[in-house]
Amino acid sequence: MSHLRSSARASVRVPVVAAAGVALLVAGCTSTKSGGSDDGSDSGGKVAIGLVTKTNSNPYFVKLRESAQDEASKKGAKLIALAGKFDGDNQGQVDAINNLVAQNVKGILITPSNSTGVLGAIKAARDKGIVVIALDTATDPASAVDATFATDNEAAGVKQGQYVKGALKGKKPAIAVLDGTPGSTVDDLRHKGFLKGFGLTNGSPEIKGTAVTNGDQTKAQTAMENLYQRDHGINAVYTINEPAAAGAAQALSGKSGVVIGSIDGSCTGVRNVQSGKFAATVMQFPKKMAQQGVDAVVDYAKDKKKPSGFTDTGSQLITDKPLSGLESKDTAWGLKNCWG
């Protein structure tokens, strides 16, 4: 369970920025203050809650922040939202946590970068009686935080695998696997879940080829073209996220009968399901993570009851071609609930 990153879309930004942006690595946070005054919960009687996301450019985290903000307003709490500069900005997260501790927050919601530095800062915060909740991404070990609200990515992968298998309607599967970034735990869990849902293993002959796409639509397109060139019989595609699925769909445009599955639940992705570019996607719910996280902190402030354990915020198969035996929602529902 090392550095679980729920949004593969977010995780892929690391290498390029890190490679080219030496001078950008000036540690620090982009502060997006939401809420009233700077001082802590005691002053206005409001419960102060800190939120630390990986970045604030990724729409997934934007949705997370907005949802947390809405929930906090509803519950009469104050949200202080901070973010790292880029995915993997460990120092930025450490600074953000220290910042929040200094502001006397009751609880911190964090989509943690996985580093000993961040874990150390979390421990220091918890030692001061602040409740820390991981959103979207679990820490390693999971016990480093009080509780985790996140998507079970393996379960989400299983849903994609089951659907793609069912959609082949008994045809002999010939699968192309478009992975995200090697070593990313989220990517590994989704990959594993897909195979599990399909009833395969990594060495299965049904898998005609795998490629790394970094979740980039253009890389996925090229990879899909090359895999298809290798084997024209490919009829099923696993994708790490929706941009990868869009690239695969473009590569296979004009070739009918290939079932493309995906994961994420962005509005663009749902629209692509609606237009038939790919067959199904599995939606995750940053909004739920944020709401449950905020609620947990507010409860803690009220009655000192700490949340604990892993809470799966769920994932939902979205398709307009439902299969019997698989619970799914249509794209109309998907467009109402997509995260950005």
# residues contacting other proteins (CB under 8 A): 45
C-alpha to C-alpha distance for 289 and 96, rounded to whole angstroms: 20
Task: Check binding of 15 to other proteins (CB under 8 A).
Answer: yes
Q: Which of 50, 84, 173, 243 is close enough to bind other proteins by CB under 8 A?
A: 243
Q: Shortest Cβ distance from residue 264 to other proteins (Å)?
A: 12
Q: Which is nearer to other proteins, 77 or 223 (CB)?
A: 223
Least CB distance to other proteins at residue 47 (A)? 29
Footprint of other proteins on residues 19-38 (CB under 8 A)?
Answer: 19-24
Can you spell out the DSSP letters for 249-286? HHHTTT-TT-EEEEEE--HHHHHHHHTTSSSEEEEE-H
Q: CA–CA separation, 262 vs 190, rounded Å? A: 10
Member of 70, 140, 206, 225 binding other proteins (CB under 8 A): 225
CB 240 within 8 A of CB 178: yes
Q: Is 119 in the site for other proteins (CB under 8 A)?
A: no
Among 2, 37, 43, 268, binds other proteins (CB under 8 A): 268
Q: Select from 216, 270, 273, 283 the one that contacts other proteins (CB under 8 A).
A: 216
CB of 240 to other proteins, least distance (A): 13
DSSP state for residue 237 in the 8-state scheme: E
Spatial distance between the Cα atoms of 331 and 322, rounded to a whole number of angstroms: 11
Distance CA 332, CA 184 (A): 32
Q: Does 197 interact with other proteins (rule: CB under 8 A)?
A: no
Reported in sequence order, the residue ranges of the chain that DSSP labels E, i.e. its strands, are: 30-33, 48-53, 78-83, 107-110, 131-135, 147-150, 175-179, 207-212, 236-239, 259-264, 280-284, 309-312, 315-318
Per CB under 8 A, the segment of 51-59, 95-103, 157-165, 285-293 that binds other proteins is 51-59
Give residue 171's identity as a one-letter amino acid code. Answer: K
Which one of 6-14, 141-149, 156-164, 300-308 is the stretch in contact with other proteins (CB under 8 A)?
6-14
Closer CB to other proteins, 197 or 215, in the complex: 215
Strand 78-83 and strand 30-33: the pairing is antiparallel
Cβ atoms of residues 79 and 49 within 8 Å: yes
Nearer to other proteins, 34 or 250 (CB): 250
Question: Contact at 8 Å (CB) between 241 and 281?
Answer: no
Interface residue with other proteins among 3, 5, 6, 9 (CB under 8 A) is 9
- Chain positions 77 to 106 lying near other proteins, rule: CB under 8 A, are none
Q: How many helices (H) and strands (E) does the chain have?
A: 13, 13
Which amino acid is present at 126?
R
In the complex, the smallest distance separating the C-beta of residue 32 from other proteins, rounded to whole angstroms, is: 13
Q: Which of 25, 142, 155, 212 binds other proteins (CB under 8 A)?
A: 212
Over the window 244 to 263, marking each residue x when it contacts other proteins by CB under 8 A and - when it does not, the resulting string is --xx--x-------------
Judged by CB under 8 A, does residue 219 bind other proteins?
A: yes
Amino acid, single-letter form, for residue 49: I
**Residues in touch with other proteins (CB under 8 A):** 9, 12-13, 15-17, 19-24, 57-60, 62, 182, 209-212, 214-219, 221-223, 225-227, 229-231, 243, 246-247, 250, 266-268, 340
